[in-house]
Structure 1
Amino acid sequence: MARLFFSLKFSDRQQQQLLPYQQQALSLCPQATAVALDNLHLTLFFIGEADSRQQQQLIAAASQINSPAFTLALDHLACFAKPKILYLAPSQIPTALTDLQRQVAALCKAEGFNDIHDKYRPHVTLARHGSYDGTLTVPPLTLTISEFALYQSAQCDGSLRYKPLQRFSLL
């Protein structure tokens, strides 16, 4: 069994571009713990535990998704009270992101996985175990999104790592 999720796939450069926003979040909440730079992502659907057969079915289904590449402007720094995470989010959610998320959610649900969240709220978790009251509008970070991936969440040398298992191109 593997712990899986679908997410937008950020390039190494895009993850580096998120670093100043993470530093700003940590300056607002110094007791928070930074998410590892190579773990920064924007979840489309959290699957949870899946066996190898389910994993292969998810990959086969996701390879059939036909969705365009799009730009995403992240400009909203805030905190979820539960769980206590500081995040960066778009103030305007692109239609292409909403459509992609709906397609991914539909294929996951068709495979028997249910979403644990009431409503999809796209965000990039920058830090955990911290709180900040209020929201902060920040200069937008505009990213071109050209792929998403199926990830595995696993412990590696005592730390949590997100490993892309299969990438899927957006046209």
Structure 2
Amino acid sequence: MARCKPKSGISPATATKCGWKRSPPPCKGCWMCSPGSDQTARRLFLALWPEDTERRQLVELATGVAGRRRTPDANLHLTLVFLGATDPARLIAYEAALADLSPPTLELTLDRYGYWPQPRILWLGSSRTPPELYELVAELHSRLRGCGFTPERRAFQAHITLARQHPGPAPTQPLVTPLHWQVRHVTLVESLRQDTGSAYRIMRRWPPG
């Protein structure tokens, strides 16, 4: 069966130039565009993804404070930019815009707990976020704007969600052993909705490796 073509006529080559303002309409009935295929929109975000050593430390910091609605160990991450539902053409454009991304190596010290009453989130953050991290987020926004992306209005606050629907408040005791995280990569992640909750799949990293 021949692969379908969007009626808008927008080709992947055109999409990579980030010159279009809206996504092509989805095909109806084609097996290429059926649920679960590469043609369906994906829920994506850019994040700092912990390596095994940092993840083990994060799990230790969450144990005993996060409660019953704790974030699964494998899901712990720090979101940089939430991309939302992303169709194939826009994904191609995003990847082209980020192709030569070279994020700086920086150290992020996670040394305090925090709590947002609405929506009742317990999180782990830093008492002093390095300026390089804010600059990285600004660079990501700048690259993606050319592809039609609109950043969230709220200011970026570096945090790792430890638990949802937490009764609060945040623990007041200082962390005995803060986590010193050497950040080297930006990761593109897909969020998959499952009966047991969300699962995450790494799609790409910049720089590769």
TM-score (norm 2): 0.73
CA distance, structure 2, for counterparts of residue 107 and residue 25 of structure 1: 38
Which runs of no fewer than 5 residues in structure 1 stay unpaired?
none
Structure 1 residue 113: Cα displacement: 2.3
Partner of 1:126: 162
Alignment of 1:6-155 (within 5 A): 6-26=46-66, 30=67, 32-134=68-170, 136=172, 137-138=174-175, 139-155=177-193
Structure 1 residue 157: Cα displacement: 5.5
Aligned counterpart in structure 1 of residue 196 of structure 2, from 155, 158, 164? 158
8 Å contact from structure 2 (residues 101, 207) kept in 1: no
Structure 1 residue 114: Cα displacement: 2.1
8 Å contact from structure 2 (residues 103, 184) kept in 1: no
Which structure is higher in strand share? 1
8 Å contact from structure 2 (residues 54, 179) kept in 1: no
Deviations 1:87-120 (A, max 9, x none): 0001111122111111112223322222334110
8 Å contact from structure 1 (residues 12, 38) kept in 2: no
Please identify the structure whose Cα radius of gyration is greater: 2
2:181 partner letter: L
2:59 partner letter: L
CA distance, structure 1, for counterparts of residue 144 and residue 72 of structure 2: 27
8 Å contact from structure 1 (residues 67, 96) kept in 2: no
8 Å contact from structure 1 (residues 25, 77) kept in 2: no
What value does the CA root-mean-square deviation take over the aligned residues?
Answer: 1.8
Structure 1 residue 134: Cα displacement: 5.0
Which runs of no fewer than 5 residues in structure 2 stay unpaired?
1-40
Structure 1 residue 135: Cα displacement: 5.7
CA distance, structure 1, for counterparts of residue 151 and residue 135 of structure 2: 16
Partner secondary structure for residue 25 of structure 1:
coil
Structure 1 residue 72: Cα displacement: 0.7
Which structure is higher in helix share? 1
When the two structures are aligned, how many residues end up with a matched partner?
166
8 Å contact from structure 1 (residues 80, 131) kept in 2: no
